[in-house]
Amino acid sequence: ILPANDRLGNYQVAALMLPAEEVGGDYYDFFETVSGEQWVTIGDVSGHGVESGLIMMMTQTSIISVLNTANGLLPSKLLSSINTIIRNNIIRLDVERYMTLMAVHLTNSSLLLAGKHTDLLVLRSSDLSVETVSTEGTWIGITDDIEGCMKDIEITINRGDIILLYTDGATEGKNFSGEMFGDERLIKSFKIHSGLPVNEIVQNMLADILEFQQSQDDDITLLVIKKIF
């Protein structure tokens, strides 16, 4: 159910997800709505396995349905609506689950995003510097109403800039010494491979992460967005 690498308007998008078990709980999607809006979403359901995979699928279906029936939604409003749906489904499943979730609306000159998830990294084409953008808000599915808990953040994006979204499985894997891959190694890998096509960026970064890890204990997702026009 995960999308194939594609182009969304002025952006190229590539992603991959490597589950720790047969069924993963990581989630990502990118698509254009019936009204022409372009969105990218990424999230991580607590735990992994079948129950987490079910919640991930519910989230994907709910987001597409909401965005195709309502134009001009702020990401924060989208997430508030999704939380109500997912919270009800978690109660019906009688499981203890929640998820991080970030929604990103792509425009010609910026990203508008909301949600509590891992940091977002922006590599600037002008000087190859990497900016770290912390996300604010709350998790999905832990309470009935998150209205007012989410903050919309706008980031200006220029031609050639590259954005990296990821789940914590990319940074928290440990080597034989118990040392985590961490943010610094992730940023270094991002910079080293940033000159490649977007699909090769995620593939080479995943190879760096797996080479470092003693074993894979969590799902790993990497998603790259590059502004080409």
Per DSSP, the residues of 107-149 read -SSEEEEE-S-SPEEEE-TTT--EEEE---S--BSSSS--TTT
pLDDT, position 51: 84
- Contact between 28 and 18 under an 8 Å Cβ cutoff? The reply is no
Residue 220 DSSP class = E
Interatomic CA distance for residues 164 and 202, integer angstroms:
9
Q: Is 136 exposed, middle or buried (0-12, 13-18, 19+ CB in 10 A)?
A: middle
Residue 37 has pLDDT above 80, yes or no: yes
Token pair of 154, please? 């706008």
Interatomic CA distance for residues 146 and 85, integer angstroms:
12
Residue 69: Cβ within 10 Å count? 11
Tens of pLDDT along 79-137? Answer: 999 999 999 999 998 888 999 999 999 999 999 999 999 999 999 999 999 999 999 89
Band of residue 60 on the pLDDT scale cut at 50, 70, 90: very high
- Contact between 201 and 170 under an 8 Å Cβ cutoff? The reply is no
Tens of pLDDT along 13-34? Answer: 999 999 988 777 899 999 999 9
pLDDT, position 201: 98
pLDDT, position 24: 78
Rounded mean pLDDT of 157-164?
98
pLDDT, position 156: 98
pLDDT, position 8: 96
pTM over 0.85: yes
- Range name among 43-47, 84-88, 157-161, 162-166 with the lowest pLDDT average: 43-47
Sequential DSSP letters for 138-179: --BSSSS--TTT---EEEE--TT-EEEEE-GGGTS-B-TTS-
Q: What is the mean pLDDT of the chain?
A: 95
